[in-house]
Amino acid sequence: MNNIQGKIKIKDIAEKAGVSAGTVDRVLHNRGNVSEETKKRVKSIIAEINYTPNLYASALASKKTFVFRAVIPAYSSGEYWEMIEQGIRKGAQELIDFKVSIHVHYYDQYNQESFCRTLEEAISYKPDGMLLAPSVKPLTLQYTGQLEKKGIPYVFIDSRVEEAHPLAYFGQDSLRSGYLGAKLLLSQKKECCDVAVFSFFHPGQVAANQISLRMEGFNSYIREKEIDCRQHRATLAVNDEKKNELEMKRLFFENPKIEAAIIFSSRSYIVAEFLKNNNLNHIAMIGYDLLEKNVHYLKNNTISYLLAQRPEEQAYKGIKALSDHLIFKKQVSSVHYAPIDILTQENIDFCLGF
């Protein structure tokens, strides 16, 4: 007898097959101890009536618990990785009644050894699944290899490592976001123009990052569209404000014709701050990522466009991919590029608070 909703239950299947609910459950979960014959009979009935289990009842009754572990760079408040963690926390919240618990491990993204230690520790707990913000390729492959050997599914977040076999990848298409940056900055220019192009560097950087890919995409637009422009490049550094200040002074004051600027790092506010302080209002600027400080300069009209990538959503979906795979037995597709959001003063307010 199906219930009010007309939904079919295990009991219904059991009756039709002339077996007990326990047996149906055994075949549903391949738990063995069922004769080939009844197995076939039950399976055919399940297929026939298009049975979908009540996952909530299942979770309630099940004694199985799951532990996921996430390994991401340590961060300070207001940084990019904070949003990633928020997404993880949101996923964790939704899964507690499915007996899932999530632990987050942090590594120093400027220290290779820290990456290794953290990952080793996380793996040593034998989690049921992992979410991983990868480091450089050879290092990362070393550990994804271990995970694969142990049969632990893992999901890459933010950036991807070729030759690994993650359950899924959630991140952005950095090439394209660089390409789009160029288009927004340069498409309407009719004559040759001067552009300031900033990258960003930290000694010992070990976490993979998007900067060089974005720059590559940027240049491919210029090549493809045969844009006539002069690029003035500079590299900024973490935690060296004086050097950065000098670098920017050199760049902008020696090249007064610069009318556009782009910085391929989430720390775009560094350049924005400089432009603001030096009243270089005529320079159109593009930055990356939805950091609070970047938003500030978007709102006060220093940054024209911010290209953003919804990190919370990526992380949230990464967690969901693990649970879909492990708990809900759903097929999960392997690559998920986040939308490239184009943010301006006008639409920014609707994007805050995911």
Residues that bind DNA (CB under 7 A): 3, 7, 9-11, 18-23, 25-26, 28-29, 31-35, 37-39, 53-54, 57-58, 60-64
Should residue 4 be labelled a site residue for a copy of itself when binding is judged by CB under 8 A? yes
Query: Of 90, 176, 202, 276, which one interacts with a copy of itself (CB under 8 A)?
Result: 176
Residue with tokens 């359950």: 167
Contact 198, 178 (CB under 8 A): no
Tell me, what amino acid is at 233?
Answer: R
Should residue 99 be labelled a site residue for a copy of itself when binding is judged by CB under 8 A? yes
The residue (of 281 and 347) whose beta carbon lies closer to a copy of itself is 347
The residue (of 22 and 145) whose beta carbon lies closer to DNA is 22
Residue 37 binding result from a copy of itself, DNA, none, given CB thresholds of 5 to 8 Å by partner type = DNA
Least distance in Å: CB of 273 to a copy of itself? Answer: 23
Residue 28 binding result from DNA, a copy of itself, none, given CB thresholds of 5 to 8 Å by partner type = DNA
φ, ψ at 350 (rounded to 5°): -80, -10
Contact 76, 267 (CB under 8 A): no
Q: CA-CA distances (angstroms) from residue 66 to 93, 148, 251, 253, 282?
A: 14, 18, 53, 58, 55
Residue with tokens 């390409």: 179
Say how many CA atoms lie within 13 Å of 70 toward its Cβ: 26
The residue (of 49 and 55) whose beta carbon lies closer to a copy of itself is 55
In a 3-state reduction of DSSP, which class is residue 187? coil
Cα torsion 270, 276, 277, 280: sign: positive
Should residue 192 be labelled a site residue for a copy of itself when binding is judged by CB under 8 A? no
Residues lying near a copy of itself in the complex (CB under 8 A) are found at 4-5, 7, 54-57, 59-60, 65, 96-97, 99, 101, 173, 176, 179-180, 183, 188, 337-342, 344, 346-347, 349-351
